[in-house]
Amino acid sequence: MQFRIATWNVNSLRVRLAHVLDWLSADGADLLGLQETKLIDEKFPRAEIEEAGFHVVYAGQPTYNGVAILARKTVFQSPANVVINNPLFPDEQVRIIGADLHQIDSSDTTPLRFLSVYVPNGAAVNTDKYDYKMRWLSALREYLAQQIAAYPELAVVGDYNIAPEDRDVHEPELWRDQVLCSGPERAHFQNLLDLGLKDAFRLHDQPEALFSWWDYRQAAFRRNRGLRIDHLLLSQTLTDRCAASGIDTAPRKLDQPSDHAPAWATLQSQK
């Protein structure tokens, strides 16, 4: 038995709900972290998602940010121990939601801890927003150090707004030292890996120039001028069970797409 986990920055769930439900009904994922829902909780489409066969937990705010976790009811019990944001980092912006997931057919009491994170964009190097991104990432590392100690089965998925290496960038020289690619951001990403987490995408052979985000402008998707900034980070226990990984660019080809495509990983169920 196996199941698939995924992450998708939908850039407004109001606009993209049909894309998400269509993708899930085509077995896109059994457990999905969303970012940039851009919905206050009162306007979140809980009923539609539950009727489509998914548990859902979410946290939003007006206009910006907002995160959610969707879990297929035929695979998972209802999410438990839901935590919004990083307890170590007071933040007016809603950028993290975490939950424990138990498989319905499992007698194991060890939960899969699943975090959907939306790392700040950072605007440009040496701006206030970039400084906020740096502080936010420092605090994330401290939080994940605690989470990995508490949860052997930990998956931290989301829009990291960091392209880890030059091979994750369509034109590395154009992006050299720019936001999303700067040395300090890449050092922060490496610090997360140094906690013992693995980038699921790089656990398996991948095509060259497979990205997860393309600018809406200048036909960037058609020309594949993209970056890989959406990631699934897995603890060692989950790394050992990761049978496949990838990025599904099909939803980026639809009418009115998100500028991000979903990234995914297939995990073998615990014995």
Give the pairing type, strands 2-9 and 31-35: parallel
Catalytic annotation on 205? no
H helices of 196-249, in order, are: 236-239
What is the per-residue binding string for DNA in 226-265, x denoting contact by CB under 7 A?
-x-x--------------------------x--xx-----
Q: What H or E segment, with its residue span, contains residue 3?
A: strand 2-9
Residues in contact with DNA, shown as a per-residue x/- string from 156 to 175 under the rule CB under 7 A: ---x-x--------------
Q: Which position among 100, 130, 151, 159 bears the catalytic label?
A: 159
Among the candidate windows 24-32, 189-197, 215-223, 240-248, which touches DNA by CB under 7 A?
Answer: 215-223
Nearer residue to DNA within complex by CB, 30 or 259: 259
Identify the active-site residue in 30, 58, 118, 160. Answer: 118
Residue 185 touches DNA, criterion: CB under 7 A: no
Confirm if 229 and 259 have CB atoms less than 8 A apart: no
**What whole-number distance in Å separates Cα of residue 40 and Cα of residue 32?**
19
> What gap in Å lies between CA 271 and CA 27, rounded to an integer?
23
Of the two residues 81 and 224, which places its CB atom closer to DNA in the complex? 224
Cα 171 to Cα 53: distance, rounded to the nearest angstrom: 41
Give the separation between CA 223 and CA 5, rounded to whole angstroms: 28
- x-or-dash string of contact with DNA, 9-28, rule CB under 7 A: x-xx-xx-------------
CA distance 170 to 81: 39
Size of the site for DNA (CB under 7 A): 29
Does position 213 bind DNA by CB under 7 A? yes
226 DSSP β-pair partners: 214
| Structural contact between residues 138 and 177, judged by C-beta atoms closer than 8 angstroms | no
* 118 catalytic per annotation: yes
| 96 near DNA (CB under 7 A) | no
Q: Are 53 and 73 in contact, with CB atoms under 8 Å apart?
A: yes
CB nearer to DNA: pick between 205 and 255: 255
Residues of this chain that interact with DNA (CB under 7 A) are: 9, 11-12, 14-15, 36, 38, 62-64, 120-121, 123-124, 129, 159, 161, 179-180, 213, 215-218, 227, 229, 256, 259-260
Active site residues: 118, 159
